[in-house]
């Protein structure tokens, strides 16, 4: 049995975990591994002198070997992968697209169509060379172009996908995570555990564990703990840049990169302008008060709540790709509301400074749209329904017993507490069902459904963030899933 590990995020912590995981799989079950890296410089010394005889390949070497891609034909490529929507995948890449409508604040460079087309073909051909005949792939989440293409190809070749997904909510201080199986982070194991709870009678211990997770969710502040333990640093939430002390070395290093290989190469001038622009926008938007009142008591009694997502990020790039333009989405929600209801909108705390002022003014001009800057949990308590593309606000809304309308896809969307919008034209009907007809599950049914969901979530967690010191439970869990 052989697995393909795809590592492309340039993190030594993640790389060490990958190798430790492969090592455990080899010694426990004689599972061999092949590793794919993006650049030669990404490979650390551990891989060069490993004990498990793993093969290692890089996209850099593939690209430099001209014979591999000199005969690439777009017609042949499209015919072979006719079921894959490549334009959607390209729109999820933040380096050279701005479907999020941030207009300059993320430093997106402009690329010609030919460059993007060739990049997609080369990435696909490189991955296809190694993905065939493998039992499965192990990769990171689909917020990179490489991972997204790899997940799509694994599905094409009917190969299992295991995405390492650390979690925000867990039972102890070690953290936790699970293996997701598609680009939306759905876990087939979690869904099975949920279905197995049909007519299940909860024990006292079950309810104690469920209550512990509920309290963690309600007490949750931000992702700092996850970031520190899983990535080894705290990027912060500064409007200028999360890497201010390293910005110049970061820019100089990028200048040396070949964008045909290192496709996230930045445009230094645009990057500097974007950093300054975010700071300026944050200051001017705060001064103009476009984020709204902080007093939750001033919002209308009849309302629904939409919490804007931080962008660009996986929650919209992949999980809510068709709703990347949140300005357009808020406009469509406004068009869908019952006559006597208002839409309360809150900007994400990390997103302050990303958007130009005119977007807030444009949305505020709608007769039923109101911005509010009170804490999200306080707004949720005052609202009749919560709308979201994806994100952790779903957990908070579940526990505060509010109806949830979701536009995107994520691992928790199998819960019966969530109303999925398959077509934006259906939104008025869904809102009418919830707000006017009040056609909801009973309070007992909602509580039971919430307990089922949380218990299936708990039962699917692997103890410990995915770092080397926690590799044993992650290896055991992967073996179980392979079986």
Please state, in angstroms and rounded to a whole number, the distance separating the CA atoms of residues 471 and 463.
10
3-state SS, residue 287: helix
> What number is the average pLDDT over the span 107-119?
91
Class of domain 291-459: alpha beta
Please state, in angstroms and rounded to a whole number, the distance separating the CA atoms of residues 52 and 248.
39
Quick: pLDDT tens for 315-329: 999 999 999 999 999
User: Would you state the pLDDT for residue 329?
Assistant: 98
φ, ψ dihedrals at 138, nearest 5° = -115, 125
* CB of 463 closer than 8 Å to CB of 470: yes
Quick: pLDDT tens for 412-433: 999 999 999 999 999 999 999 9
Task: Tell me if 2-86+109-194+462-482 shares its fold with 291-459.
Answer: yes
Confidence check: pLDDT of 253 > 80:
no
| Helix, strand, coil fractions of the chain, as percent rounded to 5 | 50, 10, 40
> What number is the average pLDDT over the span 358-374?
98
Q: Name, in order, each residue with C-beta under 8 angstroms of 6's C-beta and a sequence gap of 6 or more.
A: 36, 127, 137, 138, 139, 140, 146, 147, 150
Q: Which residues share a beta bridge with 386?
A: 305, 404
**Pairwise pLDDT comparison (210 vs 244), residue with the higher score:** 210
**Pairwise pLDDT comparison (245 vs 384), residue with the higher score:** 384
> What number is the average pLDDT over the span 270-290?
94
Quick: pLDDT tens for 54-97: 789 999 999 988 655 555 678 889 999 999 999 999 999 999 99
* CB of 436 closer than 8 Å to CB of 344: no
Q: How far is CA 324 from the centre of its chain?
A: 13
pTM, 2 dp: 0.91
Assigned CATH topology for domain 2-86+109-194+462-482: Rossmann fold (3.40.50)
User: Would you state the pLDDT for residue 237?
Assistant: 42
Confidence check: pLDDT of 232 > 60:
no
Quick: pLDDT tens for 178-194: 999 999 999 999 999 99
Q: Name, in order, each residue with C-beta under 8 angstroms of 221's C-beta and a sequence gap of 6 or more.
A: none
Look at residues 55, 47, 51, 60 and name the one whose alpha carbon lies nearest to residue 12. 47
Quick: pLDDT tens for 91-111: 999 999 999 999 999 988 889
Q: Where are the domains of the chain?
A: 2-86+109-194+462-482, 291-459
* CB of 144 closer than 8 Å to CB of 9: yes
3-state SS, residue 48: helix
Please state, in angstroms and rounded to a whole number, the distance separating the CA atoms of residues 413 and 431.
18
User: Would you state the pLDDT for residue 239?
Assistant: 43
Confidence check: pLDDT of 438 > 60:
yes
């Amino acid at each position: 049995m052989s697995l393909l590990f795809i590592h492309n995020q340039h993190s030594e912590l993640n790389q060490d975990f990958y190798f430790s995981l492969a090592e455990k799989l080899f010694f426990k079950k004689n599972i061999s591994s092949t590793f794919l890296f993006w650049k030669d410089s990404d490979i650390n010394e551990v891989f060069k002198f490993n004990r498990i005889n793993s093969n290692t390949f890089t996209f850099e070497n593939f690209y430099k070997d001209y014979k591999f891609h000199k005969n690439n034909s777009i017609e042949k490529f499209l015919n072979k992968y006719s079921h894959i929507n490549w334009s959607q995948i390209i729109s999820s890449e933040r380096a050279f697209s701005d479907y999020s409508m941030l207009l300059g604040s993320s430093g997106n460079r402009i690329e010609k169509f030919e460059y993007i087309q060739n990049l997609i073909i080369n990435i696909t051909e490189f991955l296809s060379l190694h993905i065939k005949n493998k039992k499965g792939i192990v990769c990171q989440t689909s917020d990179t172009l490489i991972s997204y293409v790899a997940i799509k190809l694994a599905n094409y070749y009917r190969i299992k996908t295991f995405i390492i997904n650390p979690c925000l909510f867990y039972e102890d201080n070690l953290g936790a995570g699970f293996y997701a199986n598609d680009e939306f982070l759905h876990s087939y194991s979690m869904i099975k555990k949920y279905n197995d709870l049909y007519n299940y009678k909860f024990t006292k211990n079950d309810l104690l564990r469920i209550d512990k997770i509920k309290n963690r969710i309600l007490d949750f502040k931000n992702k700092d703990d996850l970031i520190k333990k899983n990535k080894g640093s705290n990027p912060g939430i500064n409007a200028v840049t999360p890497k201010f002390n390293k910005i110049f070395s970061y820019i100089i290093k990028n200048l040396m990169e070949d964008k045909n290989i290192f496709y996230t190469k930045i445009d230094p001038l645009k990057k500097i302008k974007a950093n300054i622009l975010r700071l300026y926008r944050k200051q001017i938007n705060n001064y103009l008060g476009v984020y709204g009142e902080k007093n939750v008591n001033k919002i209308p009694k009849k309302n629904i709540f939409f919490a804007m997502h931080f962008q660009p990020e996986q929650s919209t790039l992949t999980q809510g790709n068709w709703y990347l333009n949140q300005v357009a989405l808020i406009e469509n929600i406004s068009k869908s509301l019952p006559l006597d209801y208002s839409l309360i909108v809150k900007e994400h705390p990390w997103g302050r400074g990303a958007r130009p002022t005119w977007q807030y003014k444009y949305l505020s001009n709608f007769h039923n749209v109101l911005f509010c800057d009170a804490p999200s949990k306080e707004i949720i308590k005052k609202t009749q329904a919560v709308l979201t593309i994806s994100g952790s606000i779903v957990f908070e809304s579940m526990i505060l017993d509010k109806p949830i309308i979701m536009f995107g896809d994520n691992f928790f969307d199998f819960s019966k507490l969530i109303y999925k919008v398959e077509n934006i034209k259906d939104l008025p009907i869904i809102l009418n069902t919830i707000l006017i007809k009040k056609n909801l599950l009973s309070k007992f049914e909602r509580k039971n459904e919430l307990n089922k969901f949380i218990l299936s979530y708990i039962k699917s967690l692997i103890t410990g963030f995915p770092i080397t010191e926690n590799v044993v439970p992650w290896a055991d869990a992967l073996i179980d899933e392979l079986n």
